[in-house]
Structure 1
Amino acid sequence: MKSPFDSAAISARAEVAVAVALEVGREAARFRSDSNPGTLAVENKGLQDFVTIADRRAEQAIRDGLISPFPDDMFMGEESGGRSGATGTWVVDPIDGTTNYIRGFRYWAVSIAFVVGDKIEIGVVYDAAEDKVFHAVRGGGAFKDGLPIHAAATVDPANALVILGHSRRTSFDDHLALSRRLHERGMDYRRTGAAAIDLIRIAEGAADLYYERHLNAWDMLAGALIAQEAGATVAMPPLDRLLAAGGPVIAHAPGLASEFAFILENEGLSLAG
């Protein structure tokens, strides 16, 4: 399907999304630094799955910032829901890594993606740890505060740093088995709790693999586009499937493709296009 948006319309949206992510991210960081955990009004959505007043305020601010200049766009947020549409949809996680945010561990992000049809057109991630914004427009490269970034050139697994996410929707035994397999190949690994940040670490070459067996669309779409535009190899299910039910994602340095091919095969994934 031909996109109803020309390059100028996409560029205009990307510029607004970068400004909104920076403003909302900084406000969320100020709110957290001025608060104690008891004033965050934490609600438990499930085991280790939380939402705070900051999430809801941030999502409303993002919605207002994006829909005011582009009133015909659709909006899908983690907290308020919504649906995708043919006119183009913003897919937003106002605070990815809420548990980290609550505890004062600054490994959290604001994640904003714009999708049209079966393509991610824009990805924007505010990195709270560095107070910087990463962004990409499909076909235009990836940037960190406006400067180009690139995936790592790593080819030796013994030099690789990998990040493994884990969802309680999936098998912990499988997670441990994968950790062991990568460890035995000489790789070092981390688990951080914020998928959007993990994906931009792949994009900027700070890590060589990010993989998680199940994420929601708002967790991954922006970071996946940024990683892909930075030259990383990215694989995930088709966009319509992700929007409906979530799924796995893998992003890695291109020189390690042979090391991680078994993950794509196990998940039945094809490379993102």
Structure 2
Amino acid sequence: MTLDALALDGREKFLASLIREAAVLALEGFRRQSGAAVSLKGPQDYLTETDGQVEDFLRERIAQAFPEDGFLGEEGGGAPGEQVWVVDPIDGTANFARSIPHFCISIAFVANGVVQLGAIANPVLNDYYFARAAQGATLNGQPISVSGVEDVSSSSVEMGWSNRRPLASYVSAVQSLFEAGTNVRRSSCGALGLAYVADGRSDAYAELHMNPWDCLAGLLMVKEAGGVTGPFLSAGGLADGAGVLAAAPGVAEIMSAATGIALQDGQDFLPDTGLQQKRTA
């Protein structure tokens, strides 16, 4: 089924309202969270009550508004389809659980083989990022763009860590980046790390493995803000996760060399969609 522009307009308007409603729930949960017990899904993989509450809310609202669309959430799962909402109810849960105000909600809408819409909300700062394919990216309604950094010695990048890849690979990538002359940070919230590349606060973000709910909205934002990314959907990322790279053009090659993640040279389509790969000039 092909989604037309009018149908996408409706989802765009819906998403702009939905992300704000979800942010209210997340902020209420954050204010209650201090000192509360948290669970572990795995090593350094936290789960709070708010994760489930926000995801349930999003799942129900989307099902009511667009019952024909699929849903894929970090906590409750789901199945990718021709049209699917991909949701992380709380990204940066380790921060959230320790009352560190650096977390967000990330929502992406995928249709026609590409990420069409993306929204990220930082409830504590009242920051709302939004992007639509081929229509740019905004922060609180104002257009944003990646940084114009060209000198790596003046750059600052973020490198996320994943236990799905060998620790030695992560250490090697970070060492290469430091040796290249950049500053490397880690803030434990990949979706916001990508948003900060889109608005120029950070010059690049990379992680050797990310799940789709953590990165699809942010990758769209970086591309729409003039940045460079690696392939994710075409690398099978919607089903299995994949490496993520997003950068200002001036440091993209350095990030790619350090991480081993290739740079994308065209539109990132889902594999086997029957859609022709578009190439940029």
TM range, smaller chain: over 0.9
Q: Given that residues 113 and 123 in structure 1 are in contact (C-alpha distance below 8 angstroms), is that contact kept between their aligned partners in structure 2?
A: yes
Residues of 1 paired with 2:222 and 2:205: CA distance?
10
Tell whether 2:63 aligns with 1:74.
Answer: no
3-state SS of paired residue (1:4): coil
> Deviation at 1:150?
0.3
Tell me whether 252-261 or 18-27 shows the greater mean CA deviation: 252-261
Aligned counterpart, 2:204: 209
Aligned counterpart, 1:15: 13
Q: Given that residues 113 and 122 in structure 1 are in contact (C-alpha distance below 8 angstroms), is that contact kept between their aligned partners in structure 2?
A: yes
> Deviation at 1:267?
3.3
Distance 1:59 1:176, change over 3 A: same
Structure 1: which amino acid aligns with 2:76?
Answer: S
1:45-77 CA-to-partner distances (Å, cap 9, x unmatched) read 100112111000000111122221111111111
3-state SS of paired residue (2:145): coil
Aligned counterpart, 2:163: 168
> Deviation at 1:221?
0.4
Aligned counterpart, 1:267: 261
Structure 1: unaligned runs, 5 residues or longer: none
Tell whether 2:245 aligns with 1:250.
Answer: yes
Structure 1: which amino acid aligns with 2:264?
Answer: S
Aligned counterpart, 1:43: 39
Aligned counterpart, 1:133: 128
Residues of 2 paired with 1:150 and 1:196: CA distance?
16
Residues of 2 paired with 1:272 and 1:175: CA distance?
27
Residues of 2 paired with 1:211 and 1:219: CA distance?
12
Q: Given that residues 72 and 79 in structure 2 are in contact (C-alpha distance below 8 angstroms), is that contact kept between their aligned partners in structure 1?
A: yes
Q: Given that residues 17 and 66 in structure 1 are in contact (C-alpha distance below 8 angstroms), is that contact kept between their aligned partners in structure 2?
A: no
1:236 to 231, 234, 245: 231
Q: Given that residues 206 and 255 in structure 2 are in contact (C-alpha distance below 8 angstroms), is that contact kept between their aligned partners in structure 1?
A: no
3-state SS of paired residue (2:221): helix
3-state SS of paired residue (2:110): strand
> Deviation at 1:108?
0.7
Residues of 2 paired with 1:212 and 1:131: CA distance?
26
Residues of 2 paired with 1:216 and 1:229: CA distance?
21
> Deviation at 1:239?
4.6
TM-score, with structure 2 as normaliser: 0.90
1:176-197 CA-to-partner distances (Å, cap 9, x unmatched) read 2222222122211110111110
2:25 to 20, 24, 27: 27
